[in-house]
Structure 1
Amino acid sequence: MVYLPTVLFSLGEGAVIPLIPVIAARMGADVAFAALVASALVVGQLCGNLPAGWAVARIGERFTMVIAGVVSMLAAAGMIFAPSIGVLAASVFLLGFCAAAFGLARHAFMTTRVPVAFRARALSLLGGSFRLGIFVGPFVAAGLLQLFDAESAAIWFFMGCLVLMVLLVLFGPDPEKDIPPITRPSARSFVEDSGEPVSGSIPTVGRAGIFRTMWRQRAVLGRLGLAAASLSAVRSARQVVLPLWGLSLGLDASTIALVVGVSGAIDFALFYASGQVMDRFGRLWAAMPAMVLMAGAFFALSFTHDGDAAVLWYGMFAAMLGVGNGLSSGILLTLGADVAPKRDPAPFLGSWRTLTDAGGAIAPLLISGIIAVASLPIAAAAMGVVGLLGAAGFLRWIPRFVPRPKPE
């Protein structure tokens, strides 16, 4: 009941995401406009995080997930029957909005119910559940395309996953009732405007609103939150740079897909190792190696484009990026849970997820701009710089804001 709804939602979403530009192109969009339609998903996620925080705080995780699932069905229907590209883009935007609400609801539930001693492993499993759906979904879509020769088949599959998810959440055992919330805050909580750690219980008089929470938590959002956004940017850059790099080397689509697929498989295989490291040794021991590894891979890749073994280096550093991304699995969820107010985390998590999603959304734009004025290797090196800056931010702010877990 905790992880299966996430698998169902992400499995259907993973089947649909690769087909959004294809559907837009079939409706007459050029390549640039098809990419714009696909980006509506990220924009929807950015816009949905803050309202989702408000909804979870008011009506709870369970009903937020149900509403997100039902509205996602409407978005999927809009994608199937869209009479114009504008309606298609609006449907994709609505899907991103609902995905933000669904993700935040489950994140808030885990934050309030999972003890700190194994929080990172639990949230790494949550991140792994999402990775499983996104990894398997495109293969399901490929099989459905072979069977039915229509992109709408994958969207109908998504709707089926949504129906199962909503029924499971509505009629299955309610984890909110079966698992009592952890009302006792950790030894270090952060409620002062200055961001300094204080001891004792969190004084709460009613629920704070979204914007009041953002103001109260501006210290951690502006410091640790920016470091987290840099990690999200480097992750997003990996998904953009690797296909472009393969194209620039003259590789065919199947070879690029193989390299990207192997990188994704390594990423998925390591998701639980990240939680083990964070719980046993501290958050910094997962964040720093992951950031340094991905930054180093981008830097090294930028020097190999015109070399004799460029294809070999491409495959090697793609795998290295997969290792780095896998070692960082669950770190954004875990850090958000660590620094969120313990009694009412949803408004803060809405702000936290908006900040991290913004990092992921800005990275492709930054890469496009650098390629336009310089080159792809320069863009890769620039993402290496972002990774090193993020690593420095984690090194500075994780010890200040996040307590080390107690040894088991």
Structure 2
Amino acid sequence: MVYLPTILFSMGEGAVIPLIPVIAANMGADVAAAALVASALVIGQLCGNLPAGWAVARIGERFTMVIAGVISMIAVVGMVLAPVIAVFAASVFLLGFCAAAFGLARHAFMTTRVPLEFRARSLSLLGGSFRLGIFVGPFVTAALLQVFGDEHAATWFFLGCLVVMVLLVLFGPDPEKTNPPVVNHSPLAEDSGEAVSGSIPTFERVGIFRTMWRFRGVLRRLGLAAASLSAVRSARQVVLPLWGVSLGLDAQTIALVVGVSGAIDFALFYASGQVMDRFGRLWAAMPAMVLMGTGFLVLSVTHDGEAAVLWFGMLAAVLGVGNGLSSGILLTLGADVAPAQDPAPFLGSWRTLTDAGGAAAPLIVSGVTAIASLSVASAVVGVIGLLGATGFIRWIPRFSPRRSPGD
């Protein structure tokens, strides 16, 4: 009941994502317009985090997921029946908006219900559930295209996943009732960036913007480091295919290299949680950022060498290892620094910041490539990764999950 709804939602979404620009192009959009329609998913997710935080705080995780699932059904039907490209783009935006609500609801549930000593492993499994769906979804799409020959078959598959997910959440055992909130006496959640005087209330429900102001110090420091990780992750998905194209590789070879990198990434998701729970959050975040930052920097100087293709394959694997080691770190850090009693408004702000980093990365790569070259863009991403590693070293709170707060 915790992970299966996530797998269903992400598998349906993963089946649809590759076909969004294809369907847009079939509706008459040029390449630029099709790319813009595809970006509506990310923009919708970015815009949906703050309202999702408000909804989870007011009506709870379960009903937020149900409402998000029902609205997602409407969005999917809109994608199938859209008469013009504008309606299709609006449906994609709405789908991203609901994906933000679904993801935040499950994140808030895990934050309040999972004991601190194995929080990272549980959240890495949650991140792995998302990755499993996104990883398997395109293979489902390929099979459906082979059988039906119609791009809309994947959207109907997503609709079926949503129906099963909503029924499961509505009529299955409610994890909010079977798993009561746990009290995590963590020193991490108290750092709001403000001086505290007088007594500290045990619980006070506040709004989204008051929460953002109260925790502005955490969001400004650790949140920006987290956004840099999200940016490097997103840049990997853009740079690797473009790099293969710039080397003159065929689509099959590029897909193979990117697929191997993704498989390595997926294989390591639970190892990240083990490292975080046993040794601390820094020992997953910092090596991951150093690996990815260094990988992009090395990649930037290999383009014109004799072994450029070999370096491309090797460094794609390195980036996969780095991304895999960072699995669940953004979820875990957000849970660590969120207020224990009412985490949803803070998590809405946290996820907005990290999603903004992910949304900005393709724009950075595109802009730098247009001004200079793809090699320079790769180097810029590498620098962002190393700066993010420095930020994590400076601002990740030092604590061991195996110690008591007073240790």
* TM range, smaller chain: over 0.9
Partner of 2:165: 165
Partner of 1:248: 246
Residue of structure 1 aligned with 2:228, choices 227, 230, 242: 230
C-alpha offsets along residues 1-58 of structure 1, whole Å, 9 cap, x if unaligned?
Answer: 0000000000000000000000000000000100000000000001000000000000
Paired positions, count = 404
Q: Distance in 1 between matches of 2:199 and 2:281?
A: 23
Partner of 2:295: 297
Q: Distance in 1 between matches of 2:257 and 2:318?
A: 11
Please tell me whether residue 332 in structure 1 is matched to residue 349 in structure 2. no
Partner of 2:77: 77
What SS does structure 2 have at the residue aligned with 1:189?
A: helix
Q: Distance in 1 between matches of 2:78 and 2:204?
A: 39
Partner of 2:285: 287
Q: Distance in 2 between matches of 1:366 and 1:296?
A: 18
- Normalised by the size of structure 2, how large is the TM-score? 0.97
Q: CA deviation at 1:182?
A: 1.2
Q: Distance in 2 between matches of 1:375 and 1:228?
A: 26
Residue of structure 2 aligned with 1:397, choices 379, 395, 398: 395
- Structure-to-structure mapping, 1:31-50, within 5 angstroms: 31-50=31-50
Q: Give the direction of change, closer, same or farther, for the CA distance of 1:259–1:188 in structure 2 (3 Å limit).
A: closer
Instruction: Give the letter aligned to residue 124 of structure 2.
Output: S
Q: CA deviation at 1:188?
A: 4.6
Q: CA deviation at 1:201?
A: 9.1
Instruction: Give the letter aligned to residue 137 of structure 2.
Output: G
Q: CA deviation at 1:403?
A: 2.8
Q: CA deviation at 1:206?
A: 3.6
Q: Distance in 1 between matches of 2:72 and 2:199?
A: 39
Partner of 1:358: 356
- Structure-to-structure mapping, 1:8-407, within 5 angstroms: 8-190=8-190, 192-194=192-194, 203-204=201-202, 206-399=204-397, 403-406=399-402
Q: Distance in 2 between matches of 1:192 and 1:325?
A: 28
| Equivalent residues of 1:189, 1:202 under 8 A apart | no
Q: Distance in 1 between matches of 2:66 and 2:151?
A: 26
Instruction: Give the letter aligned to residue 309 of structure 1.
Output: A
Q: Which runs of 4+ in 1 moved over 3 A?
A: none
Q: CA deviation at 1:184?
A: 4.8
| Equivalent residues of 1:195, 1:220 under 8 A apart | no
C-alpha offsets along residues 50-105 of structure 1, whole Å, 9 cap, x if unaligned?
Answer: 00000000000000000000000000000000000000000000000000000000
Q: Distance in 1 between matches of 2:112 and 2:199?
A: 15
Unaligned 5+ segments in structure 2 are none
Q: CA deviation at 1:106?
A: 0.1
| Equivalent residues of 1:230, 1:386 under 8 A apart | yes
Unaligned 5+ segments in structure 1 are none
Q: Give the direction of change, closer, same or farther, for the CA distance of 1:84–1:195 in structure 2 (3 Å limit).
A: farther
- Normalised by the size of structure 1, how large is the TM-score? 0.97
C-alpha RMSD of the superposition: 1.5
Q: Give the direction of change, closer, same or farther, for the CA distance of 1:214–1:195 in structure 2 (3 Å limit).
A: farther
C-alpha offsets along residues 348-404 of structure 1, whole Å, 9 cap, x if unaligned?
Answer: 0000000000000000000100001000000000000000110000000003xx532
| Equivalent residues of 1:191, 1:216 under 8 A apart | no
What SS does structure 1 have at the residue aligned with 2:190?
A: coil
